[in-house]
Amino acid sequence: MTSRDSKPARAAATGPVYEQPLNERMRTFLRLDFLYQQALFHEEREDPWSTRAAVGSLLEILAITARGDARSEVLKELERQVSIMSDFQARPGVDSGRLRAVLSNLERLRIELNAAGALFMQKLRDSEFLNAIKHRSTIPGGTCEFDLPDYRHWLDQPFAVRAANYGEWMTTIRPLCDAVIELLWLTREAGRPRPETALGGNFQLAFERDSPSQLLRIALPAGTDLFPEVSGGQHRCSIRFLRWTDPNARPAQATEDVRFQLTVCT
């Protein structure tokens, strides 16, 4: 098993790895992971521009979680993964110490998320300060200092003050986002890559109906000028490879056979 750091999901030692969610739950998880990683990255940087970016990531997390019951979906997936991991205990050749560590971590995440309660984000949603930034963010340049002088004043505070405030907000969302990171790590680890060839740059794939797939991962060689475009859903999908040239030209369909590594994660 590899590190839970989400970076390998986006770039592997052999080249880029592209991920395609195959259901709405996985789509939400990947978006939360993406925004949470952005928030963590900018949280550590002292300049006000990074603080702005960190706040923007936090507000987007709040927007995503407002559209559905993300907490319930995460708890269901934690239960499913606990059940899967528990089944491994009876199998020969399993690293029991590693398995216990994984199960212990899943139980801890489940307890923390349960303890947070169904309305654990309500405090952030009720914040007049954050709501003002959210509403002005829908306008291009809407968070300028003449629009939000109190935001500008807060951004002018010493980094220790901003970090303390932002750290409190992150503490609120951490039980959910940490659980999502763990679940994505387990999902990726469960898949086994296999070599495939896209004839003439096109590849068709049908999934097993008895074992619903959640995530598709496509790994390409380092230095390639190709990238995949995936369309489809839970039962079948098609992959076509396009060639990148520059931002001023439309990518062209590859016509040669393309070798890649495919991982289907259930």
The pTM score is 0.88
Domain that holds residue 250: 194-265
Q: Report d(CA 176, CA 31) in Å as an integer.
A: 13
Query: Is residue 9 in some structural domain?
Result: no
Same domain, residue pair 82 and 55: yes
| Mean pLDDT of the residues in the chain | 90
Last residue of a domain, one of 146, 170, 190: 190
Give the model confidence (pLDDT) of 168-201 as tens digits.
Answer: 999 999 999 999 999 999 999 989 999 999 999 9
Give the model confidence (pLDDT) of 28-60 as tens digits.
Answer: 999 999 999 999 999 999 999 999 999 999 999
Got the DSSP string for 150-176?
HHHHHHTS-HHHHHHHHHHHHHHHHHH
Cα atoms in the 13 Å half-sphere on the side-chain side of 165: 16
Both tokens of residue 175?
Answer: 């039980």
Same domain, residue pair 239 and 138: no
Q: Give the residue from 62, 67, 15 showing the smallest Cα distance to 36.
A: 62
Asked if 184 contacts 29 with a C-beta cutoff of 8 angstroms, the reply is yes
Q: Report d(CA 48, CA 38) in Å as an integer.
A: 15
Last residue of a domain, one of 190, 221, 251: 190
Asked if 198 contacts 192 with a C-beta cutoff of 8 angstroms, the reply is no
Same domain, residue pair 147 and 248: no
| pLDDT band, very low/low/confident/very high, at 22 (cuts 50, 70, 90) | very high
Last residue of a domain, one of 190, 214, 235: 190
Same domain, residue pair 53 and 148: yes
Same domain, residue pair 51 and 161: yes
CATH of the domain at 73: 1.10.3900.10
Give the model confidence (pLDDT) of 200-239 as tens digits.
Answer: 999 999 988 777 889 999 999 999 999 999 998 778 899 9
Give yes or no for residue 5 having a pLDDT over 80: no
Same domain, residue pair 167 and 198: no
Same domain, residue pair 185 and 83: yes
Instruction: Quote the number of domains for the chain.
Output: 2
2: phi then psi, degrees, rounded to nearest 5: -100, 180
pLDDT in the model for residue 91: 76
Query: Is residue 6 in some structural domain?
Result: no
Both tokens of residue 177?
Answer: 């986002």
Q: Hey, what amino acid is at 17?
A: V
